[in-house]
Structure 1
Amino acid sequence: MDEETKKLIGRREMVNFPVLQLFEVEAKIDTGAYTSAIHCSNIQEATLADGSRVIRFQLLDPSHPQYNNKLFEFKEFTLRDIKSSFGDVQERYVIRTQIQLYEEIIQTDFSLSDRRDLKYPVLIGRSLLQNNFIVDVSKKNVALKRKKKANKKKKKNNL
């Protein structure tokens, strides 16, 4: 994708996770991070009756408006070394799922991380950004504002 087709986003954006049934979750855009991360708790690896391995977890936490207390289960996952912003290397589970920003739905990797002490439950890293978006750090919620503007225009035209 060339620069002219990349969409502009700000330092923070509202994102959707259609497969996970999470909508309008605030994400921090972090060009310093390679892998994206999502806040979760109760991460457990388990063995099913057929011998296959799964990862189970809950997304967000009860203090978050979109928390739904649902236990998620993924059969496809990896365990990777992820470097934190402090330079510490942590072994984390990584899942592949869909994220929606603007009208684009992108399949990408998310590390499962306890982000309860951090302001934003989702962090968007370079691997998602590099082929899809240009970041303007002086702006925030660019995609949401464009969506609201388009909806307003659509309503006006339907009157």
Structure 2
Amino acid sequence: MKHPIEIIGATDMVDLPELGWFMVPVRVDSGATTSSIHCSKVKLITEDNETVLRFYLDARRGAPPQSFTVKNFKETIVRNSSGKEEKRYVIKTSIKIFGRKIRTEFTLANRKKMSYPILLGRKLLKGRFIVDVAQKDLSVNRSKNKISPESLTDKARL
């Protein structure tokens, strides 16, 4: 079943159920390709003769105060907000927003100086959301924000 396109604001709240982190504030950034999540102590370790990735989430913002270890990850090069290229690890996990559970990729980044521990990028937004930067935290009232293709044409006439 295809979900309707939702209007999402510049900020919102999400759940990361696989990581046990709920009501996490996020910033929507249509200029970013991939979503990112604030992590610390990100490092490769060997466990049972296998290389795994270990990291910690932002416990000060409600994340579980424990390490997470994943076997399925990849490395990528991204251009950060300063325009510099940096190597980051990428994990897949589920995000819950507007009552929908979406499996997506997150780069693990140091967002300690940023206001929001999670940034939602275009790969997650495309085909699912229309961004209205004048709005915020719309998932709380999700039933009011569903739009249909017909309503898009009505709005275009205004």
* Length-normalised TM-score, structure 2: 0.86
Instruction: Name the aligned partner's letter for residue 59 of structure 1.
Output: L
CA distance in 1 between counterparts of 2:123 and 2:38 reads 18
Structure 2: gaps (5+ residues): 144-158
1:51-83 Cα offsets, whole Å, 9 max, x none, are: 22110011014x32x132111010000010011
Asked if residue 134 in structure 1 is aligned to residue 130 in structure 2, the reply is yes
Counterpart Cα distance in 1 of 2:101 and 2:38: 20
State how far apart, in whole Å, the 2-side matches of 1:11 and 1:31 are. Answer: 9
The corresponding residue for 1:12 is 11
Distance across 2 between alignment mates of 1:146 and 1:129: 16
**Corresponding residue for residue 111 of structure 1:** 107
Aligned-residue RMSD, C-alpha: 1.9
| 1:96 counterpart = 2:96 | no
Residue matched to 1:33: 32
Q: Quote the residue 2:151 is aligned against.
A: none
* 1:55 maps to amino acid: L
Q: Contact 2:22–2:63 at 8 Å: present in 1 too? A: no
For 1:114 and 1:85, locate their aligned partners in 2 and report how far apart those are by CA, in whole Å. 12
Contact 2:20-2:63 within 8 A present in 1 as well: no
Partner residue in 2 for 1:44: 43
Secondary structure of the corresponding residue to residue 19 of structure 1 = helix
Q: Render the CA deviation track for 1:89-118: whole Å, top value 9, x for unaligned.
A: 110010000001111111100000111111
Choose which of 82, 91, 100 in structure 1 pairs with 2:78. Answer: 82
Q: Distance in 1 between matches of 2:131 and 2:31?
A: 12
Q: Structure 2: which amino acid aligns with 1:15?
A: V
Distance 1:33 1:146 in 2: 24
Residue of structure 1 in register with 2:69 after alignment: 73
Mapped partners of 1:146, 1:104: distance in 2: 11
Normalization by structure 1: what TM-score? Answer: 0.85
Q: Percent identity?
A: 37
Which residue of structure 2 lines up, in the alignment, with residue 53 of structure 1?
A: 51
After the TM superposition, which segments of 4 or more aligned residues of structure 1 sit over 4 Å from their partners? Answer: none
- Letter of the aligned partner of 1:57 in structure 2? F
- Secondary structure (helix, strand or coil) at the match of 1:56 reads strand
Cα distance per residue 1:12-50 (max 9 Å; x no partner): 01000010011000000000000100011111101122x
Whole-Å separation in 1 of the counterparts to 2:141 and 2:110: 29
Unaligned runs of 5+ in 1: 148-159
